Amino acid sequence: MKIGFIGLGNMGAPMAANLTAAGHEVTGFDLTAPCPEGVTKAETAADVAKGADVVITMLPNGAILRSVADEVLPLMAEGSVLCDCSTVDVESARAVADKANQTGVLAIDAPVSGGIGGAAAGTLTFMAGGSDEAFAKVDPLFDIMGQKAVHCGASGAGQAAKICNNMILGVTMIATCEAFALADKLGLDRQKMFDVVSTSSGYSWTMNAYCPAPGVGPQSPADNDYKPGFASDLMLKDLRLSQQAAEAADADTPMGQIATALYEQFVEKENGAGTDFSAMLPRFEKRGRKA
């Protein structure tokens, strides 16, 4: 398959490299990042689109996605697929899909879960929104770049799934960090707390698979001085998207609102920028009830 890939940053580069390693012809473009080995460099996004069976995008936000789509869609062949793996607002995903349909191009919004490690290992989870035809065309590529792809529904459903998932993730991480900080102040050993909670009703992914306490549970960014696996800045971005969607849908999400406010404070007013989102634990360790 002839594939164009736009956005070769920390996530896009290993995804493109995995497609090349599987034998696909991949042409890539990024304003600043270099092409990974095996990927042919294009001078413009438009050059990537010409003759491509599938164009995959991994971009920072919805505004940039819309701009790139405006540039590449007129050059894409009828029946080809624009597959956006960015995490963006639902409205942008649906607007791009509508524009694609007007030009005879199929569109899929397919944000991912699994982080940089999952991108490199080819173990991402894709949450896809779009037609059955579009999903069928890109599903073999999902099998190369990831371990699971779920067709969530029509255009925008992939972004909706990602936003809801990451709202749960942000809220749960805060609760997990709060609980460890409370355990410390109550004199409860962290390992003992993990042993209880990880096999009891407090079980969660943030406790069992991504424990924010160094030296407890499986290896996680906490054991690497909170260097990002999933950066606090990105968690804040996703939480803001969740609240934007909640406002548009008139959904009551008080815990999502609180989590957004806490990550805003952590990233923008404290020292959270550039750290893993589990670095909320040392933040809570330093704070008292009225801090």
Q: Any idea which residues carry the catalytic annotation?
A: 162
- Exposed / middle / buried, residue 236 (Cβ in 10 Å: 0-12, 13-18, 19+): buried
CA distance 220 to 224: 7
- Exposed / middle / buried, residue 96 (Cβ in 10 Å: 0-12, 13-18, 19+): buried
Name the residue among 124, 86, 122 with its Cα closest to residue 107.
Answer: 86
